[in-house]
Amino acid sequence: MQTPLIRYREEVKQELYNILRYWQSHMVDKEQGGFYGAINNANEVQPNAAKGLVLNSRILWTFSAAYGFDQHKEWLPLAERAYDYLQQHFRDMQYGGLYWSVDAQGKPLDTRKQIYGEVFAIYALSEYYRRTQQQEALNWAIALYKLVERYSFDPLRKGYLDAFTREWQLTADTQLSNQKEHADKTMNTHLHILEAYTNLYRVWPDAGLRTQLYYLIKVFTDHIIHPQTHHQVLFFDAQWQHPSTVFSYGHDIEAAWLLPEAADLLHDSELTQQIRAVSMALTNAAAEGLDKTGGLRNEYEPATQHMDADKHWWVQAEAMVGFMNAYQQSGQEQYLQQSLHCWDFVKQYIIDKKEGEWYWGVTGDLQVMARQDKAGFWKCPYHNSRACLEIIHRVGEELKG
């Protein structure tokens, strides 16, 4: 088994560098500062595209994590560039937090405080501090954490509310991306609070943060993960009522490794044991979305039996990690094979071998989704670079073992 693992590690390591070089070569905005807001599949920059908080935070996380991986001298200036741009253009010095987006010139565009975006900044700032020991970055991450706890945390019903105005008043404008329905609380936001708080706890093991991270894990087991299907419920009202029914296979497999990562950090043996069982159930539920190509499909609606067979880039990236995590937890060969097959799918259909980076995805009949950005408001160097870093680390652990 060592030969396939060694090959897997070396291939994703090379792909990691391909991804980083792409963003270094194509996305630095030398005219207006920071990074461009979008570029299409033909590598044509969209110079007037808005610049999103999620994109810029994910760039900061990516190059900070890359620098932590190999201390390459070229990655740190790119992380610093992202950090400085967030400081100068996204940071709301009057009300705290960060704007959801700025225009191409860096002027505030959408000033709402979307918790999804705020916690990605926490995630990125924690990683930047972890790699640079810059105290200002940690202080900023802690300040953002306190804002999220002050305004978003629901002490009565637990969990977090999704969206606020610039002045931190609750707003009904909660929609993200192509989300069709209003929801006060969402699985997706909670999942990224989880990864943000986990990363912050690594560098700031505060007792209050530990408590909130524990509560957050329990929110997944008590409300978000369905006890019969073992899929996650996507949308709720503030009272955890009126749940949606769609299965999101990518989010299921992503949660399957983020939850045990968080639980392990708390060193609570009972919680760790519980969450590992939850993780395996989530993994098996997500595997329902695999098809004969080895790729993981997007969504399924049981009520109408409609399968969205598109295969998005981020879903395949999370599947690589999630199934590898299941292999490490269980020792069962099938999970390693699922991870390897997802990587084979990525190599064959998702990586743009001519222009670089990964396509947004392919349709159910394996046609490239050409109208989607190669990089943009949501298409960032985060899911795929993180998958590469995780596989390198996890395979290394297996080879040592």
Write out pLDDT tens, residues 96-137: 999 999 999 999 999 999 999 999 999 999 999 999 999 999
- Residue 218: the pLDDT is 97
- The pLDDT-based confidence of 178 (bands split at 50, 70, 90) is low
What DSSP character marks residue 97? S
Write out pLDDT tens, residues 361-372: 999 999 999 889
Write out pLDDT tens, residues 7-29: 999 999 999 999 999 999 999 99
Query: Region 136-152: what's the mean pLDDT?
Result: 98
Burial class (CB in 10 A: 0-12, 13-18, 19+), 103: middle
In the structure encoding, which two tokens stand for residue 113, read together? 């405080």
- Residue 243: the pLDDT is 83
Share of the chain above pLDDT 70, in %: 98
- The pLDDT-based confidence of 381 (bands split at 50, 70, 90) is very high
Share the mean pLDDT of the chain: 96
- Residue 290: the pLDDT is 98
- Residue 138: the pLDDT is 98
Query: Region 194-208: what's the mean pLDDT?
Result: 98
The candidate with the shortest Cα–Cα distance to 280, out of 235, 224, 225, is 225
Q: Is pLDDT of 179 > 70?
A: no
Write out pLDDT tens, residues 253-264: 999 999 999 999
Q: How far is Cα 300 from Cα 317, in angstroms, rounded to an integer?
A: 19
> Angle at Cα 52 formed by Cα 301 and Cα 379, nearest 5°?
50
C-alpha to C-alpha distances, 334 to 11, 203, 284, 322, nearest whole angstrom: 21, 35, 11, 13
Write out pLDDT tens, residues 298-329: 999 999 999 999 999 999 999 999 999 999 99
Q: How far is Cα 36 from Cα 193, in angstroms, rounded to an integer?
A: 26
- The pLDDT-based confidence of 177 (bands split at 50, 70, 90) is low
- The pLDDT-based confidence of 142 (bands split at 50, 70, 90) is very high
| pLDDT higher at 371 or 33 | 33
- Residue 173: the pLDDT is 75
CATH class entry, domain 2-400: mainly alpha
* 312 within 8 A of 266, measured Cβ to Cβ: no
Q: How far is Cα 152 from Cα 146, in angstroms, rounded to an integer?
A: 10
What DSSP character marks residue 231? P
Sequence spans of domains, the chain: 2-400
Q: Is pLDDT of 180 > 70?
A: no
- The pLDDT-based confidence of 32 (bands split at 50, 70, 90) is very high
- The pLDDT-based confidence of 277 (bands split at 50, 70, 90) is very high
Q: How far is Cα 152 from Cα 142, in angstroms, rounded to an integer?
A: 15
